[in-house]
């Protein structure tokens, strides 16, 4: 299957819409599902419906649940499409958005901000974004020092080296300020409760990176058959690789900036999409975007309700799902390579 079909796209959108409605309905507060539906209708332009909810309950839906659901959808879609982009560039199903040092760079800069400016929470998203982009640029620059002969394998090794180095610095800084460990680890485990300000922060970068990667789906299909074949077909492999890497890294940085570190989404979703819809990147990229958004909304709903009124960190939920899935993908990859 090389193109996305209307029925397929419609089905994925319905699943996403259903997950977002479930995200609005679920939570520690006991609100009637029918009243939630009526309140959602009342938010629509030119619609005036009395939901019967008290102002406090309306505020809970508008200020807490709705932005949280939208942030979860945006972050899940960004991480999933970034993972698909990395896997297309590296031709490796185990590649994920944190491969090139994005997570390590974000973790280090956020740790530095929390330690140096403990009373400035608004600076954390900016620090995470800058750190993620900086980590990727450092890994890419280091990989390029090997010249063209290294290829994608050199970039992977450079990412591992940068990640190890930045993580070591982060650990050292943490030990200097032990009293801030709880706050640092809370960010590392992920948080989607940033509100409308965080959603506005992520949307421009989400649009730019998402559109760029979607436009490169056909070129990634060409790259998947081999670099020599791609060159013979007139595709500038190095340019395509660089553009997709930058777009995927921008998507990862934007997601990390508003949510913290949420692992495995970039591995689980693109791989599951390939199994169901085929391996063409003209299908994998848009379907990963939609399915990833639905997945993280459902995962966040589980995190909010399984231990209510307490809340489970979203990163713990994705790890529970992603770790066994990663092992399954690794075993499949080994069998294929042998």
Q: Is the pLDDT of residue 219 over 70?
A: yes
Question: Which pLDDT belongs to residue 207?
Answer: 92
> Whole-angstrom Cα distance, residue 107 to residue 105?
5
pLDDT digits (tens, 9 = 90+) for 51-75: 778 888 888 888 888 999 999 999 9
Neighbours of 284 (CB within 10 A): 28
Query: Of 114, 128, 109, 148, nearest to 250 (Cα)?
Result: 128
Please compute the mean of the pLDDT values over residues 206-232 and round it to a whole number: 84
Point out the least confidently predicted range of 170-179, 231-240, 275-284: 231-240
Q: Is the pLDDT of residue 193 over 60?
A: yes
pTM, to two decimals: 0.87
**C-alpha count within 13 angstroms, C-beta hemisphere, residue 212:** 22
Lookup: tokens for 62: 């508008």
Please compute the mean of the pLDDT values over residues 191-211 and round it to a whole number: 87
94-97 LR contacts (CB < 8 Å, sep 24+): 94/267, 94/326, 94/329, 94/330, 94/333, 95/156, 95/266, 95/267, 96/263, 96/264, 96/266, 96/267, 97/248, 97/249, 97/251, 97/252, 97/255, 97/265, 97/266
The torsion of the CA quartet 85, 87, 89, 92, rounded to 10 degrees, works out to 180
Q: Is the pLDDT of residue 161 over 80?
A: yes
Q: Is the pLDDT of residue 330 over 80?
A: no
Question: Which pLDDT belongs to residue 336?
Answer: 44
Neighbours of 64 (CB within 10 A): 14
Lookup: tokens for 180: 């801030």
> Whole-angstrom Cα distance, residue 326 to residue 338?
18
Q: Is the pLDDT of residue 240 over 90?
A: no
Please compute the mean of the pLDDT values over residues 152-169 and round it to a whole number: 84
Lookup: tokens for 46: 């030119």
> Whole-angstrom Cα distance, residue 164 to residue 220?
29
> Whole-angstrom Cα distance, residue 131 to residue 109?
5
Question: Which pLDDT belongs to residue 190?
Answer: 83
| DSSP character string of 148-210 | GGGHHHHHHHHHHHHHHHHHHHHHHHHHH-GGGHHHHHHHHT------HHHHHHHHHHHHHHH
Name the more confident of 157 and 149: 157
Q: Is the pLDDT of residue 338 over 50?
A: no
Question: Which pLDDT belongs to residue 150?
Answer: 53
pLDDT digits (tens, 9 = 90+) for 97-147: 877 788 888 888 888 888 887 666 557 778 888 888 888 888 888 877 765
Q: What angle do CA 280, 135, 109 make, to 5 degrees?
A: 130
Lookup: tokens for 221: 């299909």
Output the average pLDDT for the chain: 83
pLDDT digits (tens, 9 = 90+) for 267-309: 889 998 998 888 899 999 999 999 999 999 999 999 988 887 7
Question: How far, rounded to the nearest angstrom, does the alpha carbon of residue 72 sit from its chain's CA centroid?
Answer: 9
CATH topology assigned to domain 6-337: ABC transporter involved in vitamin B12 uptake, BtuC (1.10.3470)
Q: Is the pLDDT of residue 334 over 60?
A: no
Question: Which pLDDT belongs to residue 90?
Answer: 82
Please compute the mean of the pLDDT values over residues 254-277 and round it to a whole number: 88
Q: What angle do CA 147, 153, 157 make, to 5 degrees?
A: 90
Question: Which pLDDT belongs to residue 29?
Answer: 72
Question: Which pLDDT belongs to residue 301?
Answer: 92
């Amino acid at each position: 299957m090389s193109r996305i079909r209307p029925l397929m796209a419609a089905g994925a959108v319905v699943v996403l819409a259903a997950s977002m409605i479930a995200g609005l309905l679920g939570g520690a507060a006991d609100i009637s599902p029918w009243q939630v539906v009526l309140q959602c209708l009342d938010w629509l332009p030119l619609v005036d419906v009395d939901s019967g909810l008290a102002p406090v309950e309306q505020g809970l839906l508008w200020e807490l649940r709705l932005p949280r659901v939208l942030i979860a959808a945006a972050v899940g879609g960004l991480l999933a499409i970034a993972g698909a982009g990395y896997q297309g560039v590296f031709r490796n199903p185990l590649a994920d958005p944190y491969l090139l040092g994005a997570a390590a760079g974000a973790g280090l800069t956020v740790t530095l901000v929390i330690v140096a400016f403990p009373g400035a929470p608004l600076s954390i998203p900016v620090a995470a974004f800058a750190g993620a982009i900086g980590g990727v640029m450092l890994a890419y620059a280091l990989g390029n020092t090997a010249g063209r002969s290294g290829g994608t394998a050199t970039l992977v090794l450079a990412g591992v080296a940068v990640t190890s180095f930045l993580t070591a610095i982060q650990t050292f800084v943490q030990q200097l300020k032990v009293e801030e460990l709880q706050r640092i680890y809370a960010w590392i485990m992920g948080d989607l409760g940033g509100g409308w300000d965080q959603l506005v922060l992520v949307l421009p970068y989400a649009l730019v990176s998402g559109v760029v990667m979607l436009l490169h789906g056909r070129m990634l299909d060409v790259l998947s058959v081999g670099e020599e074949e791609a060159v013979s077909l007139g595709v500038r492999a190095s340019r395509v690789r660089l553009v997709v890497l930058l777009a995927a890294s921008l998507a990862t940085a934007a997601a990390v900036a508003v949510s913290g570190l949420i692992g495995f989404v970039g591995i689980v979703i693109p791989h599951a999409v390939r199994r169901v819809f085929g391996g063409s990147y003209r299908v994998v990229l848009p379907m990963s975007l939609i399915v990833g958004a639905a997945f993280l909304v459902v995962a966040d709903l589980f995190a909010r309700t399984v231990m209510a009124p307490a809340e489970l960190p979203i990163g713990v939920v994705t790890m529970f799902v992603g770790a066994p899935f990663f092992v399954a993908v690794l075993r499949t990859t080994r069998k294929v390579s042998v």
